[in-house]
């Protein structure tokens, strides 16, 4: 029983490192998504008012706003550029 406890205690720091690395990767991924969305919004062919709406939405709800920009807004801005 002591051997099993010693083994679990020895593996505890490794688990913390793995979890910390995964958390850091998730944070970096969210930051890349956020800044990529802001850059994409600024470079889009949308009017100034619509750009402002998307930027405010991305700032108010960073993950959801950026995700929706890439799923809906970007495609819509490209379609509008083709119409005009």
pLDDT in tens, 22-48: 999 999 999 999 999 999 999 988 888
Task: Give the Cα separation of 77 and 71 in Å (integer).
Answer: 11
* Residue 40 near residue 69, CB atoms below 8 Å: yes
Average pLDDT over residues 58-78: 85
Residue 9 — very low, low, confident or very high, per pLDDT cuts 50/70/90?
Answer: low
What is the pLDDT, as a whole number, of residue 17? 81
Q: Write out the residue range of the structural domain in which residue 5 sits.
A: 1-80
Average pLDDT, the chain: 82
What's the half-sphere exposure (Cβ side, CA atoms, 13 Å) at 62?
Answer: 9
Instruction: Look at the chain and report how many structural domains it folds into.
Output: 1
Average pLDDT over residues 1-7: 64
CA end-to-end span of the chain, whole Å? 74
* Residue 67 near residue 33, CB atoms below 8 Å: yes
Question: What is the reported pTM?
Answer: 0.69
């Amino acid at each position: 029983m002591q051997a099993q406890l010693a083994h679990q205690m020895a593996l505890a720091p490794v688990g913390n490192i793995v979890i910390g690395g995964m958390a850091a990767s998730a944070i970096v991924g969210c930051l890349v998504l956020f800044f990529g969305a802001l850059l994409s919004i600024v470079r889009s062919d949308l009017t100034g008012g619509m750009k402002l709406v998307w930027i405010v939405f991305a700032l108010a709800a960073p993950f959801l706003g950026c995700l929706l920009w890439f799923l809906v807004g970007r495609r819509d801005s490209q379609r509008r550029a083709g119409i005009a």
